[in-house]
Structure 1
Amino acid sequence: MSKEEKKILFVASEANPYAGTGGLGDVIGSLPKSIAAADPQADVRVVIPLYGTIKEEYRKQMTKVDEFYVGLSWRNQYCGVYMLKNQGVTFYFLDNEYYFKRNVLYGNYDDGERYAYFCKAAMEMTARQNFIPDILHANDWQAALSVIYLKYKYHFPGTKAIYTIHNIEYQGMYGLEILGDVFDLGPEAQADVTYNGCINLTKGAMVCADKITTVSQRYSEEIRMEYFASGLHYAVRDCSYKLCGIVNGIDYAEYDPKKNKDIPANYSKTNMKNKQLCKLEVQRLFGLPESPHPPLVAMISRLASHKGFDLVRYVMEDLLQRDLQFVLLGTGEAELEQFFDNMSKKYPQKCRVMLAYNKAIAKTIYAGADIFLMPSKSEPCGLAQMMACRYGTVPVVREVGGLYDTIHAFNPETGTGNGVTFKSYDAYDMLNAVDRALGLYENQRNWKKITYNAMDSDFSWQRSAQSYLELYNSIL
């Protein structure tokens, strides 16, 4: 970007550490800070709702900077604006207890109205704060209306809009009868937001945005196909001329095997001796026999079929005939929880599960496992495979979405590659990939090289931030 100051506003429904349910919160908690660090001339700001779940320790850091009323069709709703600064980024929190003082972020009957209010309030707030952005960067369907409102209501001079799709399964679909009553849009906007006979906020934001991004290059190509697009492929194809993909990153300070206090022992890519101590701790935590030799295969994930658990389930008996140990951390579909719990009871010396999620235990598993299994059916980006690499745990992944972009098959002849991959969504192709990883494990030279390559991979937010800055500059 040029040296003159650029104003960048991220609009999103969550941002860690304040509020988050998954990958979106990680992105909005990290990417704006990395952009601010990469371009000191950029004025980077983020706006999210002030949820009732935000902890008091963060509320104490906030300052109230404004209050006003937001018109949304026939409604006139209060909005308080709170602000704090964190690592060069200004975070705004929009307060309305009627909409946001709830126990969960999503899944309410009135989510459409809640996020229509949020988007309208965000646009009003930025105008009142005298911060007309050069770049309005909206994320997922909850923020989609900010892009649509920019076109139809606010017309900020010079503002360009970017819309990022983090997961195309979630589109914000509603009946056309609430176009005006809930979303405060007139008939002139109907064509832009209509898809398959209903309101589709993701489609509307795609049409109205200057650029569309996804969270990996491969995913930007996949969602043009019906198989991956959750029905939105025709709209994606129509907008493909302004679509690109930029891979997410991970927080290198939080996931640092050299310095993390959450893991039993620290190590680096040039001295991995202490990784064995982490492995022994995982074995102790899960009640497995403590031994350095059997390769430890791990999965950390929400238990859902599209994460590849149906493949694992199909060949689990075969998998456990191998000379390995298997651990699983996560919760999800009851049927899958029951299956893996049964496997744990049937093979207590080889398979153990923890039907929960604990971030500190997850880090210990990343540090202690030898192989990380991630056979997703679809994966817009994926962060777990990057975290595994960071700790020198070799990923076995399916070549899909962000997994394809980040994990490359190890070639013993050239010594290149940071993981083991397979193409087809097939249980025995997956099992074959695990066998290949086990073969590498038995060859000390190959294993030393692939683990070094994994740890040497660059999944920092700095790289992603530079790509976004180049994208911003291309449309200004």
Structure 2
Amino acid sequence: MKKILFASSETHPLIKTGGLADVAGSLPIALTNLDQDVRVIMPHYQGIKNCEPGRYLCTVRVNNCDVNLLETHLPESDVVVWLVDYPPYFNHPGNPYHDENGIPWPDIGDRFALFCRIVVEVAMNRAYLDWKPDVVHCNDWQTGLVPALLSLEEHRPATVFTIHNMAYQGVFPSNAYTLLNLPGQLWHPDGLEYHGMLSFIKGGLSYSDWITTVSPTYAQEIQTPEFGYGLEGLLAHRQPTLSGIINGIDTKVWNPETDPFIAQTYSGKTLGKKVLNKTALQARLGLPVNADLPLLGLIGRLVDQKGIDLVLSCLKELVNMPLQFALLGSGDNSIQVRLQDFARLYPDKVSVTIGYDENLAHQIEAGSDLFLMPSRFEPCGLNQMYSQRYGTLPVVRKTGGLADTVVDTLPDTIKNGTASGFVFNDAVPGALLETIKRALVVHANPKLWQELQRNAMRKDFSWENSANQYLALYREI
């Protein structure tokens, strides 16, 4: 049994802004189910909900601050969560990174430096908890100082640093180094210094024993200038100790056989019932109810990263084809307005819902025939995995986790039973449009279509699968 300290700036369902929270809320439970001793550590924000209030454990003094440690649990699990309680930093309305008005916290560097210091004290068993981990698993820049600070300790635990999105790095002006009172021996170009500035993420990339990211393809991509954001050289240097492990999905929440949000449950054996979800979705969205028309779904943030601009460029042609399009999402205001214009002009073809609605998200996954995910980059992505589980075939760009989880429909992949969607290479509208047309040709062959749906529904995207890979890694280091 390994003792694992899992450090994260956010954890679902306690507090969530993105995919990191999903991992922090799922992977520790999956590892516990594999008989490991896992503790999650995160800041005690004012906005935390869905857990019993933390009970006081102890007070630890770091950098002239007295910091309390509280203990609670992940809901419906035995996983212990330690909350780092320092009210001057964390007891404010807002989320982990922004205040209520969406303005980044001015003292965000101080906050996460303090958090990292406490993680180190716990990791070195200096926090009166009588528990010392074998592995400290850090996530994203907010925990980047942990491997760096631990590198100065004797008899330290092993460290793993996971990149969920390379675009966020935690870079601060050089004077922050002095203000944060960080050890002088870490301030050099191979350490925390980045072009004369302080980089939190470099602490994780330079000092951790192993680096992982959330898909094998993304692990390759971040070693290139396009995806490395200035750190591709360091990542290429770390290549022997860098690997990708695909995130899992919550197979209880996303399960067409038991999903309470959808009109009709179904399985790979009862695929004929899936169409009832399409007609129910068409009715809900005010689209003409027609079981035979292909329905394309899209759920996501309406930003260029997600390739929404490619979809907009294709819509002019798509509305002249025999199909319907249902979108749920929010983001860039100009994109929202253009999409809403299309929905007004073509009310029998296009439905656009701005915002997020969990109930509708499940109905789109179950009711669509095809799911569009033409991202410019996608470290892991979840919706393409949900879609396959629901027998809704994804149309994706060959990048990051999309490349690792969707197998293009080609003569050889049809033959060997692995085809589960449609993949294109270039982030240009023409490539997306051609791939949608190719998918529609296949959709016109019901026998082949059902074969692809069953291939997709058989795939194992469970957290157990991912947890086993992490466990093998912990044992190796």
- TM-score bin, normalised by smaller chain: over 0.9
1:450 alignment partner in structure 2: 452
Compared CA separation, residues 360 and 10, structure 1 to 2 (3 A): same
**Alpha-carbon distance in structure 1 between the residues aligned to 2:60 and 2:31:** 32
1:446 Cα deviation (Å)? 1.1
Partner-residue secondary structure (3-state), 2:330: coil
Tell me if structure 1 keeps the 8 A contact 2:385–2:461: yes
1:78 alignment partner in structure 2: 67
Partner-residue secondary structure (3-state), 1:352: strand
Letter in 1 for 2:114: Y
Partner-residue secondary structure (3-state), 2:434: helix
**Alpha-carbon distance in structure 2 between the residues aligned to 1:35 and 1:416:** 28
1:158 Cα deviation (Å)? 4.6
Matched, 1:24 2:24: no
Match of 2:86 among 85, 96, 111: 96
**Alpha-carbon distance in structure 2 between the residues aligned to 1:261 and 1:305:** 33
Of the structure 1 ranges 103-112 and 399-408, higher mean CA displacement relative to structure 2 is found in 103-112
**Alpha-carbon distance in structure 1 between the residues aligned to 2:307 and 2:178:** 41
**Alpha-carbon distance in structure 2 between the residues aligned to 1:29 and 1:395:** 26
2:6 alignment partner in structure 1: 10
1:270 Cα deviation (Å)? 1.1
Match of 2:185 among 188, 191, 194: 188
Alignment of 1:48-63 (within 5 A): 48-55=42-49, 57-58=50-51, 61-63=52-54
**Alpha-carbon distance in structure 2 between the residues aligned to 1:29 and 1:95:** 19
Letter in 1 for 2:110: E
Of the structure 1 ranges 170-179 and 81-90, higher mean CA displacement relative to structure 2 is found in 81-90
Q: Percent of counterpart pairs with the same letter?
A: 36
Letter in 2 for 1:473: R
Letter in 1 for 2:434: N
**Alpha-carbon distance in structure 2 between the residues aligned to 1:278 and 1:139:** 38
1:159 alignment partner in structure 2: 157
> For residues 54-82 of structure 1, what are the alpha-carbon distances to aligned partners after superposition, in whole Å with 9 as ceiling and x for unaligned?
12x51xx244142314323xx42432422
Partner-residue secondary structure (3-state), 2:41: strand
Matched, 1:109 2:103: no
1:284 alignment partner in structure 2: 283
> For residues 136-172 of structure 1, what are the alpha-carbon distances to aligned partners after superposition, in whole Å with 9 as ceiling and x for unaligned?
00000111112222123xx262510000000000011
Alignment of 1:73-472 (within 5 A): 75-84=64-73, 86-101=76-91, 102-106=93-97, 107-126=104-123, 127=125, 128=127, 129-152=129-152, 155=153, 157-182=155-180, 184-191=181-188, 192-412=191-411, 413-414=414-415, 415-472=417-474
TM-score by length of 1: 0.94
Match of 2:29 among 33, 36, 39: 33
Tell me if structure 2 keeps the 8 A contact 1:82–1:94: no
Tell me if structure 2 keeps the 8 A contact 1:220–1:245: yes
Compared CA separation, residues 158 and 67, structure 1 to 2 (3 A): closer
Letter in 1 for 2:137: H
1:176 Cα deviation (Å)? 1.4
Tell me if structure 2 keeps the 8 A contact 1:65–1:83: no
Letter in 1 for 2:17: T
TM-score by length of 2: 0.94
Tell me if structure 1 keeps the 8 A contact 2:271–2:450: no
Tell me if structure 1 keeps the 8 A contact 2:409–2:421: yes
Q: Which runs of 5+ in 2 are unaligned?
A: 98-103
Compared CA separation, residues 271 and 69, structure 1 to 2 (3 A): same
Partner-residue secondary structure (3-state), 2:179: coil
